[in-house]
Structure 1
Amino acid sequence: MSLTRRCAASVALAALPLALASAAAGAAPPQRYGLDPVHTRVMFAVSHAGFSQALGTVSGARGSLLFDRDDWRSAKLEVSVPLTRLDLGDAKWNAATLAAHLLDGKRHPLARFVSETVEPLPGEGENPSDRARVCGALSLRGVTRPLCMDVQLNGYKRHPLPPFRHTAGFSASARLSRAEFGIDAWKSVIGDEVELRIEAEAVRNRYLDTGPSDDSEPIADDALPPSPSDETPDPSTRAATPDPEPRR
């Protein structure tokens, strides 16, 4: 090897550690975000005796997200949802849904999801993927089962309103069997498959100092209906059902 080539090789070897260090410095770690409880909401839909899909929402979710748009696989999500803030649009139905034979909101006021794997889905052309399959463990009513969600990144930028914090916005969907979580009452009235839709906004370095909590009104014992058999009438129609006509 000539002297010129040996000098070039030496320079290249000497520069290698600097190049590796520069690359490592350029690979920024995932940023930490907190879920905005006002702009994060879970919607659920479940069959009502085959006539319609009963729709409800739960607000006030809290949690943390580690996220780097260029590295979905490094993302980690932990979220708690206060079930006692459930709203089906009717106070009696809310109470019935939170009763011991269904969600048992008095003993299990929170649902919790912790991600385990995040797999990006293919993007279009040369554009990076804004979709991913997020799988993890859902704890509901004292039972933990696997759950996967299809997630769409809607926006990843500074918010246009003060204080202009960097915000990531997502839409997600999933399906679960309520029976797998021990929620199997009223089989003739309530379907087993529950469809979930989640809209979430996560703000960088905000909403991280408040842990998951249920800040709604406590559930009084006399506010919940008794455990039913499978033949128990639909609670929304019980009061409206007329007495049978007297025999003539």
Structure 2
Amino acid sequence: MTRQLFRCLLIGGLIGLAHAAASADEVPRWRIDPVHSRVVLRVSHAGFSSALATLSAPSGELHYDPEDWRSAEAQVVLALSRLDFGDADWNRRMAKSDFFDVRRHPLAQFESTRIVVLDSTRAEVHGLLTLRGVQVPVSLSVQRNAVGRKLPWLVRERVGFSARATLQRADFGMDRYPTMIGDDVQIEVEIEAERARE
């Protein structure tokens, strides 16, 4: 009886694992469109104004079921060579070792670890951001804007998101000039992704 019970539990467990793996495989994959995706950084310039920078052409992949946020995952990569403060001298200064250290750490990477569903179009996405070789937990407030083929020339479905977060640059070792450059960095993300071929 004990052996039979063990066999039943083992078979049930294997079936459960197989079902979970199949469910993970069924979550639609979406590839980020670098042309229609961008990250904006906003930081105080000594309280006089907010300095703005953009990071264009992010790459990566989303796993996202429009009917169920709980299975969502995100992996995003940013090439820091594309960081643009709107001034060539400032760009060169920010690329140096005491700031973004682009030569030694050319990429920033984000990978989600947990999703907290708020409603059908909003969620809190928690994950790890790696920048300058330092990995820091971050939380983004994410809004799904639209999903589907809303434009007549689109071959495959698209999904679009807006996200917001606030980081502290000192957490990544960028703590120079604290009276001139604010520590809080507001992040605004616009992402479009195209459904991948299965």
Matched, 1:46 2:37: no
| CA positional deviation for 1:161 | 4.3
Matched, 1:175 2:166: yes
3-state SS of 1:74 partner: strand
| CA positional deviation for 1:49 | 1.2
Q: May I ask how many residue pairs the two structures share in their alignment? A: 176
Identify the residue that residue 83 of structure 2 maps to in structure 1: 86
| CA positional deviation for 1:27 | 11
**Structure 2 CA distance for aligned equivalents of residues 163 and 113 of structure 1:** 28
Identify the residue that residue 103 of structure 1 maps to in structure 2: 100
In structure 2, what residue type is equivalent to 1:181?
A: F
TM-score by length of 2: 0.85
Identical pairs, percent = 47
Q: 1:93 to 1:159 in 2, by over 3 A?
A: same
Deviations 1:62-110 (A, max 9, x none): 0000000121010010000111101111101111111111010111111
Identify the residue that residue 62 of structure 1 maps to in structure 2: 59
**Structure 2 CA distance for aligned equivalents of residues 205 and 28 of structure 1:** 13
Alignment of 1:96-245 (within 5 A): 96-122=93-119, 129-205=120-196
Identify the residue that residue 77 of structure 1 maps to in structure 2: 74
TM-score by length of 1: 0.68
| CA positional deviation for 1:165 | 1.4
In structure 1, what residue type is equivalent to 2:46?
A: A
Q: What 5-or-longer segments of structure 1 have no aligned partner? A: 1-24, 123-128, 207-248
**Structure 1 CA distance for aligned equivalents of residues 23 and 32 of structure 2:** 27
Q: 1:82 to 1:74 in 2, by over 3 A?
A: same
**Mean Cα deviation higher: 27-36 or 111-120:** 27-36
Identify the residue that residue 15 of structure 1 maps to in structure 2: none
Contact kept, 8 Å, 1:159 with 1:165, in 2: the verdict is no
Q: What 5-or-longer segments of structure 2 have no aligned partner? A: 1-21
3-state SS of 1:108 partner: coil
What is the alpha-carbon root mean square deviation over aligned residues? 1.8
| CA positional deviation for 1:164 | 2.6
| CA positional deviation for 1:29 | 2.2
3-state SS of 2:70 partner: helix
3-state SS of 1:45 partner: strand
Which structure is higher in strand share?
A: 2
Partner of residue 37 from structure 1, selected from 12, 34, 37: 34
Structure number, greater radius of gyration: 1
In structure 1, what residue type is equivalent to 2:115?
A: V
Q: 1:78 to 1:121 in 2, by over 3 A?
A: same
**Structure 1 CA distance for aligned equivalents of residues 160 and 27 of structure 2:** 16
Contact kept, 8 Å, 1:38 with 1:60, in 2: the verdict is yes
Q: 1:26 to 1:135 in 2, by over 3 A?
A: closer
